[in-house]
Amino acid sequence: MIQKISQLFTERFSEQPLIVRSPGRVNIIGEHTDYNDGFVLPAAIDKAVYVAVAKRDDDTINLFAANFNEAFETTVPGIQPSQLWHTYILGIVDQLIKQGHNIGGFNLVIDGDVPAGAGLSSSAAVECAVAFALNEVFKLNLNKMQMVKMAQQAEHTYAGVQCGIMDMFASMFGKKDHAIKLDCRSLDYEYIPLQLEGYKLVLFNSNVKHSLASSEYNVRRQQCEAGIALIQPHHPRVKSLRDVSLQMLNEYVQPKDELVYRRCKFIVEEIERLTTACDDLKQGHLHSLGNKMFATHEGLSKDYAVSCKELDFLAAAVKNNPAVLGARMMGGGFGGCTINIVKEEAIDQLTETLYNNYKTAMGMELAAYIVQTSAGTGIEKV
Ligand code: GLA
């Protein structure tokens, strides 16, 4: 991948680029908790976005996407949001300009193997790769946390998704063989060794890409805020669902709005579940962690309503399989992958059976990825 992107770049631009790699991510548990000031437990994976970049002497931005075999040209003052692949790159340029950095033109080639729309945060990986690379070539002296926040803002303004901080954080701060417990309120984090002893993380990609994903995502954020608004008059110190108990929800939200109640209940339970799941992981209680993942799926499907029939099928299909410790839908929802903890020697057989059953039941092709964890965003040597 590194040789390929380096060669593509030199062929097009006749110079040596800086190459930056930024990984996709999985999330073990803690879904939709990031924008509620809760905790998440993601890990960076061995599927990544690569950018090759060099600065120019003018203000032209010259982009080439290897996956689409497509070029795009604009200027620094001429950037605009769009629905196309380059919006994630230009969104970072927009953030840099807004923060007063002196950015000139640049040449950039992008490539990667994070499947798009699979819930593995390919867009966050692009944003982090670009932020990191531009920070290097323009010598901006930004630290990783500043770049993470910038990438999140780029997603809000140029992609129109009011996402939390998890995806960018995981891509930037990933560490091989570790998951990261991130407190999304204080941004304190702790690396937890991901010791799965004879088990592996397997993703089953439903290959469903629901157009609902971004619009419903924003609606869920509003529903969480609606819950807070019902509680705040009684508990002025409550700032987010992180501060809320089930008792408060039962008292102030359930009588007023059943739908908002169910959404908020999931979040409050999920924040609690994550805390005990981290203890499970530290103590090697993988069965207990797995059970919590199944419970998360149940909540995401029934109460938070961000699943779909294909993801429900995939989670249910492994539920009583003794080789699968836990499984659930992952990420924003409405499509993408389930994350599964599967006994190593059972992976091939399970994948084959599931592939056939999924095709019969849903008329869709399943894809399976066995994932390893990896380091976060950084420079690659050719
Ligand atoms: C998407 C968002 C994240 C997070 C997850 C759900 O991946 O980008 O910020 O909210 O959904 O946990």
State the distance from the centre of ligand 1 to the C-alpha of 19, rounded, in angstroms. 27
CA nearest ligand 1 atom 2, residue: 163
pLDDT of the residue at 215: 85
Query: Quick one: pLDDT at residue 280?
Result: 97
Atom of ligand 1 nearest to the CA of 164: 9
User: Hey, which residues are catalytic here?
Assistant: 167
Tokens encoding 103: 């950015």
Q: Which residues of the chain have pLDDT under 70?
A: 211-212
CA distance 184 to 181: 9
Burial class (CB in 10 A: 0-12, 13-18, 19+), 233: exposed
Nearest atom, ligand 1, residue 155 CA: 8
How far, in Å, is the centroid of ligand 1 from the Cα of 81?
Answer: 21
Q: Are 361 and 371 in contact (CB under 8 A)?
A: no
If you average pLDDT over every residue of the chain, what do you get?
97
d(CA 354, CA 171): 29
Alpha-helical regions (H) of the chain: 2-13, 87-98, 122-137, 144-154, 166-173, 212-231, 246-248, 258-283, 286-302, 309-318, 347-362
* Predicted TM-score of the model (pTM): 0.95
pLDDT per residue as tens digits for the range 182-217:
999 999 999 999 989 899 999 999 999 876 677 899
In angstroms, the first-to-last Cα distance of the chain is 10
Closest CA to 175 of 40, 376, 379: 376
Cβ burial, residue 185 (10 Å; 0-12/13-18/19+): middle
In ligand 1, the atom with minimum distance to the C-alpha of 161 is: 8
**Ligand 1 centre and the CA of 287: distance in Å?**
25
CA 166 – ligand 1 centroid, Å: 6
pLDDT for 211 equals 66
Which atom of ligand 1 sits closest to the CA of residue 332? 11
Structure letter (DSSP) for residue 373: B
Residue nearest to atom 11 of ligand 1 (CA): 332
Which residues form the pocket of ligand 1, taking CB atoms under 6 Å from any ligand atom? 31-32, 34-35, 121, 163-164, 166-167, 331-332
